[in-house]
Structure 1
Amino acid sequence: MSFPTDPFARFGRALSDSSLLKCHGLIEGRWQSPPSRSTFPVYEPASGAVLLDCSNFSRHDIQRAILSANAAQKKFYTSTTAAQRGKLLRAWYDLILANKEDCELPEEIPTRSNILANTYPQVATILTLENGKVIAEARSEVEYAASFVSWFAEEATRSYGDVIPSSTPGATIFTIKEPVGVCGIITPWNFPAAMITRKVAPALAAGCSVVVKPPSETPFTALALAQLAVRAGIPAACVQVVPTKDRTAASELASSGIIKKLSFTGSTEVGKYLSTLAAKTVKKMSMELGGNAALIVFDDADLDLAVKGAMQSKFRATGQTCVCANRLFVHASVVDEFARRLTEQVSQLKLGFGLEENVTQGPLVNKSSVEKVARHVRDALDHGGELLFGGKRPSHLGNGYFFEPTIIKNATTDMAVAHEETFGPLAAIFSFRDEQEVIQLANSTPFGLASYFFSRDLHRVLRLANALEAGMIGVNTGAISAAETPFGGIKESGFGREGSKYGLEEYQVIKSVTIGSMEA
């Protein structure tokens, strides 16, 4: 495959609406570059080359955005009804789907250069080029992202209070749900579209304003979504997006007293640091942090279904999902057959540039991610693991951040993969012999985001659903995320829930009103 020296040179022509490509911030209601003119490079994972420079804002710029968002929030909430906010979100939803893509691809696209010369999907293209995710997954993510906007457009009008019977004769007690205020939003690079909408949509539905710090690896998707939000009629000052690589600038969202809610998705280490800063102003927080998900296959499982679930959970987004199955525990009586079938499926995956339709696995996001997967593979083999497939960087894909989808059997608990989240395409297969043993193994981690298991035994399903220490459980499926499902973890995987009917409450406060007796 031939990669052009300047991979972003024709990027604008890959979009029928090049105005979606923004490299500045949305601050104080307008698109602007920082006074310092500072920028940072954004890399294309498929080639390792620079796509484009993005504006790099400072802590002072974040403070400006916070002040502007604070002024805008009060006006936004008092001048709109819940139904009106829902209508704005519905308009945003329509624009996101309208700009997902605007034409069918040609049947044959032999080179990357030809792809960029054609009119091509909008948000999905931006996402693939800066994240590396294959275009089919990018399209799915845009639809997934839009689903949160649609969901919270409806939930905006379902923000009910309560009438509470009073112990005082003649008195009346009721509750009102109000927006928490200005929200600080820090999103990850692995789902650069969906993590924006999953946080921003409920905040807007509640009547909040937001200041978003998108990931420096994938800022352009967030900026494109912000552009669509403004086109939908959402006040620009209510959706401030401030790209930066300055860690002190990002920490301002946690430490500012004006910010009343902090929502963060990222590593547990960073989440703990931000929580410490946020605690000083006693703000509301949601933390979606690291995971170490177990996927358990019992001896009575449908093995084809279990393999399908493992492929969904392990290799979607090249293994770069927070709910990715990091440890595969398979009953000793079926482990060989499961490994054979999984290897057969993995061998059919094709690595390559994400805009090629027949590619099913893209690159990792950066060099350090590749190095971590390689380290986990070496460590597993050094500790007696058996390599069934993959295990190295491909030689035919140039300088891109690729790593072969990899399967290692005979994994043990003294391997790094048992304790660290790989966040890459490495399936480590452990064996077990009884239910209590595997429950203990699955729970032997400080994390508790997601777990999966496969069994036909209804009694076991109920036992495991209660016994596994995770905020989300997948039973006979490797797909657990949807707008209507509460997403979040326990233990060191965080707290708070996103999506679902609970997601709106994360951006609200409850006020109680007590009216004394009004008897004559």
Structure 2
Amino acid sequence: MYIDGEFVQADHGRTFDSLNPWTGQQWATIPDATAADVDRAVQAAHRAFTSGPWPRMTPNERAALLQKFADKLVENKDRLGFVETQDTGKLLKETTWQAAHTARAYTYYAGLADKLQGEIPPSASNMLNLVLHEPVGVVAAVIPWNSQLQLSAYKIAPALATGNTIVIKASEDASAPLLALAKVAHEVGFPPGVINFVSGHANPCAITLTSHPLVRRIAFTGGVETARKLIPNSAHNIAKLSLELGGKSPVIVFDDADLDSCVNGIVAGIFGASGQSCAAGSRLIAHESIHDVMIKKLVDRVKTITIGDPTNASTNMGPLATERQVSRIETLLAQSVERGARVVAGGKRVRGLLHNLCFEPTIALCNSSDYPIVRQELFGPVLSVLKFQTDEEAIAIANDSDYAFAGGIFSRDFARAMRTARAIQAGRLWINTYRVTGVNVPFGGFKQSGYGREAGIDALKDYTETKAIMIEVGGEAVADPFVMR
């Protein structure tokens, strides 16, 4: 782990094994942090925030370090991508691309470090009002196993740009990418304690971190059930909290859509990263007039998807990250089939491959939203398909979910697409495309998809406190000190 500028083992040498999802073999040994380890990391971050060189650095000096971080990410993209693929089973061509793409987040917030301006609200002639945005202090970031470099950057970069310090907790399902990132951070030369990486299980690691009295801001990405446990933790320290949770994102295809373009977007949305994305377009809502043609095109495309070794450049889908995920998908899919869902493509594990964690790209036709695969986030390559007749019905089906993270709309009629986008409950929507991202565009959800936003300019203020200062500049005597003016 990386605490206070040094690489350290966990207290008493505690460790756990990390398995390669493709081979099923142990490939790394990870430090298993104790409560004492986490406290040491938070204390280091607090010292760095209050008495180290960090609080005396100018925004431009912080920006220079963030830009150096970006440059180092590009230099190390091959190594970081390799580590993430070994630990998660994601395609090497994607993890390597993400490592380089993630550098943009640090460059973006480096450019914003000196742009967070205060305000001067109007006042009486003898007064001067100032509004300042100051760093909150120690930030706790809890990162899931998928897209770790990108998801951590959307927390680390704005936190450091605004002068905070941070402790990052890696997922116990795949910790190695963030511990590899710690080596890059060390090469950058941040003052000791400014950025810290710990690894370990929820109890005690995550519990100690999110309830620590010195933590002032918690940034969490993960599942709903974990968030329900984390929210009470934040009550111990009354910390600011943002939750970027799961999704059951709808993709609406209207009768006037370009169907070939739709197929590309739908395949990218649900089968990219083997469906292991919070924004996965897992609910296809197709107009009845094009439904059958759409399904045939999708089934034909699914047959061309190559499943296998994630380090092979020709592979389109690798394994899922854990046995737990695959078993859950099998259970929910079986329950849905028992209730009437009809599988027209895929539906089972891919046998004969290493470790049996690959799951076929699956398409299931559903005549209502009352199926487990429609209601629940599977975090895997399963697409449920529903029909609609009217625009209003499509919107109603799309909004009939506990989640509201993302969504897609395919139509040649821009006005129709925009009306639909305004009506759909989601934090991010794509029109005539899917799974395109950018650090300057905010993302996040509402309902059970969480609250708060990451990326974009507004994320800066989420890592600050607002301070108002009112100054007497006229030198006038106060007529009655017991009356508020």
**TM-score w.r.t. structure 1 length?**
0.89
Q: 2:27 aligns with which of 39, 51, 59?
A: 51
Query: Within 1, Cα distance between the matches of 2:464 and 2:381?
Result: 38
Does structure 1 residue 483 correspond to structure 2 residue 439?
Answer: yes
Q: Which residue of 1 aligns with 2:167?
A: 211
Letter in structure 2 aligned against 1:244: G
Query: Within 2, Cα distance between the matches of 1:399 and 1:71?
Result: 46
Q: Which residue of 1 aligns with 2:480?
A: none
Query: Within 2, Cα distance between the matches of 1:516 and 1:463?
Result: 51
1:246, distance to aligned residue in structure 2 (A)? 4.4
Q: CA RMSD in A?
A: 1.4
Q: Which residue of 1 aligns with 2:67?
A: 90
Q: Which residue of 1 aligns with 2:365?
A: 409
1:124, distance to aligned residue in structure 2 (A)? 0.6
Q: 1:282 aligns with which of 238, 241, 257?
A: 238
Q: 2:83 aligns with which of 102, 126, 140?
A: 126
Query: Within 1, Cα distance between the matches of 2:202 and 2:443?
Result: 29
Does structure 1 residue 155 correspond to structure 2 residue 132?
Answer: no
Task: Note the 1:119-518 alignment, pairs <5 A.
Answer: 122-166=79-123, 168-518=124-474
Query: Within 2, Cα distance between the matches of 1:302 and 1:427?
Result: 20
CA contact (8 A) 1:60 1:249 kept: no
Query: Within 2, Cα distance between the matches of 1:215 and 1:411?
Result: 37
Q: Which residue of 2 aligns with 1:110?
A: none
1:140, distance to aligned residue in structure 2 (A)? 2.0
1:243, distance to aligned residue in structure 2 (A)? 0.6
Q: Which residue of 1 aligns with 2:12?
A: 36
CA contact (8 A) 2:214 2:237 kept: no
Query: Within 1, Cα distance between the matches of 2:378 and 2:390?
Result: 26
Query: Within 2, Cα distance between the matches of 1:266 and 1:399?
Result: 25
- In terms of mean alpha carbon deviation, does 277-286 or 321-330 score higher? 277-286
Letter in structure 1 aligned against 2:10: P
Letter in structure 1 aligned against 2:5: G
**Secondary structure of 2:36's match?**
helix
Q: Which residue of 1 aligns with 2:482?
A: none
CA contact (8 A) 1:91 1:232 kept: yes
CA contact (8 A) 1:296 1:329 kept: yes
Percent of counterpart pairs with the same letter?
30
CA contact (8 A) 1:76 1:207 kept: no
**Secondary structure of 1:452's match?**
strand
1:216, distance to aligned residue in structure 2 (A)? 1.2
1:76, distance to aligned residue in structure 2 (A)? 4.2
Q: How far does the alpha carbon of each residue in 1:274-319 deviate from its partner, in whole angstroms, 9 at most, with x for none? A: 1111023221111101211111111111111211111121111100
Structure 1 residues 290 and 315: CA distance shift in structure 2, 3 A = same
Query: Within 2, Cα distance between the matches of 1:496 and 1:384?
Result: 37
Q: How far does the alpha carbon of each residue in 1:352-377 deviate from its partner, in whole angstroms, 9 at most, with x for none? A: 11111111101001001111221232
Query: Within 2, Cα distance between the matches of 1:313 and 1:240?
Result: 33
**Secondary structure of 2:219's match?**
strand
Structure 1 residues 511 and 271: CA distance shift in structure 2, 3 A = same
**Secondary structure of 2:43's match?**
helix
1:519, distance to aligned residue in structure 2 (A)? 4.9
Q: Which residue of 1 aligns with 2:481?
A: none
1:490, distance to aligned residue in structure 2 (A)? 1.0
- In terms of mean alpha carbon deviation, does 240-249 or 380-389 score higher? 380-389
CA contact (8 A) 2:125 2:474 kept: no
Q: Which residue of 2 aligns with 1:26?
A: 2
Query: Within 2, Cα distance between the matches of 1:80 and 1:32?
Result: 27
CA contact (8 A) 2:350 2:356 kept: no
Q: Which residue of 2 aligns with 1:117?
A: none
Letter in structure 2 aligned against 1:439: I
Q: How far does the alpha carbon of each residue in 1:82-102 deviate from its partner, in whole angstroms, 9 at most, with x for none? A: 01111101001001001112x
Letter in structure 2 aligned against 1:397: L
Query: Within 2, Cα distance between the matches of 1:174 and 1:123?
Result: 44
Query: Within 2, Cα distance between the matches of 1:35 and 1:269?
Result: 28
Query: Within 2, Cα distance between the matches of 1:41 and 1:411?
Result: 43
Structure 1 residues 481 and 279: CA distance shift in structure 2, 3 A = farther
Q: How far does the alpha carbon of each residue in 1:23-59 deviate from its partner, in whole angstroms, 9 at most, with x for none? A: xx11132111123111111111112221121111101
Query: Within 1, Cα distance between the matches of 2:2 and 2:361?
Result: 38
CA contact (8 A) 2:349 2:356 kept: no
**Secondary structure of 2:282's match?**
strand
Q: 2:41 aligns with which of 65, 68, 73?
A: 65
1:411, distance to aligned residue in structure 2 (A)? 4.7
**Secondary structure of 1:242's match?**
strand
Structure 1: which 5+ residue stretches go unaligned?
1-24, 102-121
CA contact (8 A) 1:40 1:245 kept: no
Count of matched residue pairs:
475
Query: Within 2, Cα distance between the matches of 1:149 and 1:424?
Result: 30
Letter in structure 2 aligned against 1:384: G
Letter in structure 1 aligned against 2:43: L
1:249, distance to aligned residue in structure 2 (A)? 2.1
**Secondary structure of 1:158's match?**
coil
CA contact (8 A) 2:139 2:165 kept: yes
Letter in structure 1 aligned against 2:112: E
**Secondary structure of 1:204's match?**
helix
Query: Within 1, Cα distance between the matches of 2:307 and 2:290?
Result: 29
Structure 2: which 5+ residue stretches go unaligned?
477-485
